[in-house]
Structure 1
Amino acid sequence: MNRRLVIPALVAGLLLTSACTDNTAATGDARTLTVNASDTECNVSAAEAPSGTLTFKVTNDGSKINEFYLLADDGLRIVAEIENIGPGLSRDLVLTAPAGNYFTACKPGMVGDGIRGGFTVTDSGEDVGPKGEDAELVAEADAQYASYVRDQVDQLLVKTQTFADLVKARDDDAARALYADARVHWERVETVAESFGDLDPQMDAREADLEAGDEFTGWHRLEKDLWPARAEGYTPMTDEERAAVADRLVADTNTLYDRTRDMTFTASDIANGAKGLLDEVATGKVTGEEEYWSRTDLWDFQANVDGAKVAWEGLRPLLQRKDEALDSQIGQAFADLQTLLDKHRSGDGFVTYDQLSASDVKELADSVNTLSEPLSKMAGVILS
């Protein structure tokens, strides 16, 4: 879940002049930029780069886990992102960017509005994107992934409507039974949903990530009302309040449905989306923070892994041509992680998160990290 990246346009404008400092570094390549992210700054080595394949080499110099984003000119749509950058660690974000205006953003602590700066991609005069056989393979991957996204959103819409009807009817047992199954379809395409920055906070914000004045809506607002046992002193929603939240969730899901009908994806979109889904596992699901009330985190965990695997599989023909060893490493890491997840199955789903031991959680976290490392290299390889 992308936590509160959307900020008002006026605030974004005010941040442009001070948030991301131009501290140009001599990388020897105008398309390779360094980013020094701290708890208070987001220093990008240049404020512009020529169109083509860009690499942002992000180092976290702060004390908090950080994230880095490239946003479209509206300040809402996420073009590409990397999450879960621990203190002292470095990560690369590789993407293909056409000419245009963008924002860069760091997000220390993975909360708040982010430290933003303006960024321009100038027209290099070169064709942006793959060529020849690579272009054909990317086109196939795009068609497959776009179809997958549409199918998942189709199923999400149907199940969300059913879930909302059950919530409004106060058929809580049936609503609780459907909750995790319906959310699977959101989690499988979560990074695509997050790319629409206005929808994600409304549909998937966790209460712990809200700031003063934020409205608590969406899936997790209803989750809390259905599983209030861990909410000390909680006052249940009235029928009217429940209906308002449920109807808004359905309306937002319809908006997501409309926006994904004609979406297309570049190779960097798909590759970075796969890595982004693993980041979602690392920052929320494996820690048990995502589904705080229902404890259904392992359903989300599996769905994020499913979506990442579909993205990788679509790019495999291209990746195998460029680096067969990396492709094999990713495949083995996916298989090993799935074996661990399968240990915690129960019926058609999984055990609840509270049934995991500390060693279970560590084992899963280590396996996620083992997969994350080679998966993070995929974009750089296929765009080379």
Structure 2
Amino acid sequence: MSHRPTAALTLAAALVLPLAAACVPNDAPADDATAAGAITVSSTADACDVSTTEAASGPLTFTVTNDGQDVTEFYLLGEDGLRVVSEVENIGPGLSRDLVVQARPGTYWTACKPGMVGDGIRAKFTVTDSGADTGPTGDTAEQLAAAEASYVAYVKDQVGALVAGTQEFADAYAAGDDATARDLYAATRVHWERVEPVAESFGDLDPLLDLREADLEDGATWTGWHLVEKDLWQPTPEANGGVAYTPLTPEQRQAAADDIVANTAKLQEQVTDPAFTFEAFQIANGAKELLDEVATGKVTGEEEIWSHTDLWDFQANVDGARVAYEVLSDVVQERDADLADALDERFAELQDLLTAQGSVESGFTSYDQLTEDQVKDLAAAVDALSEPLSRLTTTVTGA
């Protein structure tokens, strides 16, 4: 799911992590912030006040407080200002969220995006060489290297399946075979939803493929899965702002299908590049991001507003979060066995509720057919998993 318009900051390989990390005052000397590895950020409508512009390499915690009136996001970007190292999103007014990163020496950019639109309020951020190894060493380093390799292989497998499924779906849709396209829609998107944190880390691919109509900026061109979803499950005038829906023409259908295929191919090119990596802290952050995707879009029924296939996406996000945790589980078990036990238990409880509604293979209950109590139970299980999952990154990085 993308709640963000097509701008350079639409990359996201990490997210909200409500951690109990130490903070430093905004007026603290830079040396104190550097030594602590803890940095405060105040985001308002016209400012992004970071307590220091420099820190030593190693684990860094950005404690981001929304002192404005609009929901905000915070990014740590690479030297080019495009690559997202990590982000924290959906920070409501008056709330604080922590972002944990494993930072190597180099030049970065910090950016707040009040209202979650535009290019954000940016400033250069320098990470100096602390002289210490960035990340774990010894046996732990070997475990995390194996975890990273395993996760990258998983991503490549899922994207390969996505490419094949997308082509089949696009062919059916462009040919006007709506029944087949509807059957393929949710099952194909599962592969996207399982690895969305990776997809979000590459330029504008996420909004180009997955932007909801409700998040479309005025004057922007809408493309991707949800454009086609609306055309396949055409709304009534009451559900379409009071006006009759105008179906896409055959030419528009072909163009929409071609866009989805082309952008999915770009994603495959990125993840099959020999230089593609996804570090352990990004994997851990991505697990929490996927669960936040469930909480902000799937549980509410807002993601698949026309097709009501949210439970397919819900299951896929949980699958992706669980795989991300499982590739890191050896390290988690060694460092915090209680956390590992809690995660195993909470994942199982949430999966039991999903299994009661179907499966990816056999199909799920349409989301608009769930009872209020069933939705509440799912939401409660997501909340219960969210707390221990929010501790995954700090456990893995030793921050």
Whether these two folds match at TM > 0.5 is: yes
SS in 1 for 2:59: strand
Equivalent residue number for residue 250 of structure 2 = 239
Shift of 1:224: 0.9
Equivalent residue number for residue 97 of structure 2 = 91
For structure 1, list consecutive stretches of 5 or more residues without a partner in the other structure: 10-21
Counterpart of 2:379 (choices 365, 368, 381) is: 365
Counterpart of 2:134 (choices 118, 121, 128) is: 128
Equivalent residue number for residue 67 of structure 1 = 73
**Structure with the greater relative contact order (CA < 8 A, sep ≥ 6): 1 or 2?**
2
Shift of 1:26: 5.8
Equivalent residue number for residue 17 of structure 1 = none
Shift of 1:207: 0.9
Equivalent residue number for residue 15 of structure 2 = none
Output the CA distance in 1 between the equivalents of 2:72 and 2:385.
Answer: 20
Equivalent residue number for residue 203 of structure 2 = 197
8 Å Cα contact 2:29/2:52 also seen in 1: no
SS in 2 for 1:57: strand
Output the CA distance in 2 between the equivalents of 1:240 and 1:313.
Answer: 45
Equivalent residue number for residue 376 of structure 1 = 390
Partner amino acid, structure 1, of 2:123: G
8 Å Cα contact 1:25/1:34 also seen in 2: no
CA RMSD of aligned residues (A): 2.1
Q: Are 2:326 and 1:313 equivalent residues in the alignment?
A: yes
Shift of 1:279: 1.2
Which deviations, in whole Å up to 9, do the C-alpha atoms of 1:226-269 show, x marking residues without a partner?
A: 11124341111111111111111101111100100132221101
8 Å Cα contact 2:5/2:217 also seen in 1: no
Output the CA distance in 1 between the equivalents of 2:326 and 2:148.
Answer: 12
Equivalent residue number for residue 299 of structure 1 = 312
Of stretches 370-379 and 183-192 in structure 1, the one that deviates more from structure 2 is: 370-379
Partner amino acid, structure 2, of 1:324: A
The 3 A distance-change label for structure 1 pair 24 and 47 is farther
Aligned-residue identity in percent = 58
Partner amino acid, structure 2, of 1:360: Q
Shift of 1:185: 0.2
Counterpart of 2:340 (choices 307, 327, 337) is: 327
Partner amino acid, structure 1, of 2:287: A
8 Å Cα contact 2:357/2:365 also seen in 1: yes
8 Å Cα contact 1:58/1:91 also seen in 2: yes
Partner amino acid, structure 1, of 2:339: L
The 3 A distance-change label for structure 1 pair 159 and 336 is same
Counterpart of 2:145 (choices 139, 147, 150) is: 139
Shift of 1:2: 4.0
Partner amino acid, structure 2, of 1:71: L
Of stretches 141-150 and 125-134 in structure 1, the one that deviates more from structure 2 is: 125-134
8 Å Cα contact 1:5/1:197 also seen in 2: no
Of stretches 122-131 and 374-383 in structure 1, the one that deviates more from structure 2 is: 122-131
Counterpart of 1:258 (choices 254, 269, 278) is: 269
Q: Are 2:196 and 1:182 equivalent residues in the alignment?
A: no
For structure 2, list consecutive stretches of 5 or more residues without a partner in the other structure: 10-24
Shift of 1:79: 1.4
Number of aligned residue pairs: give it: 372
Equivalent residue number for residue 356 of structure 2 = 343
Equivalent residue number for residue 369 of structure 2 = 355
Output the CA distance in 2 between the equivalents of 1:144 and 1:132.
Answer: 19
8 Å Cα contact 1:275/1:376 also seen in 2: yes
Report the TM-score, using the length of structure 1 for normalisation.
Answer: 0.91
Output the CA distance in 2 between the equivalents of 1:114 and 1:220.
Answer: 26
SS in 1 for 2:393: helix
Of stretches 331-340 and 169-178 in structure 1, the one that deviates more from structure 2 is: 331-340
The 3 A distance-change label for structure 1 pair 67 and 366 is farther
SS in 2 for 1:228: coil
Partner amino acid, structure 1, of 2:283: I
Shift of 1:141: 0.3
Output the CA distance in 1 between the equivalents of 2:116 and 2:176.
Answer: 35
Equivalent residue number for residue 283 of structure 2 = 270
Output the CA distance in 2 between the equivalents of 1:325 and 1:26.
Answer: 37
Output the CA distance in 2 between the equivalents of 1:102 and 1:3.
Answer: 24
Equivalent residue number for residue 248 of structure 1 = 259
The 3 A distance-change label for structure 1 pair 108 and 369 is farther
Partner amino acid, structure 1, of 2:368: D
Equivalent residue number for residue 18 of structure 1 = none
Partner amino acid, structure 2, of 1:363: D
Equivalent residue number for residue 7 of structure 1 = 7
Of stretches 211-220 and 227-236 in structure 1, the one that deviates more from structure 2 is: 227-236
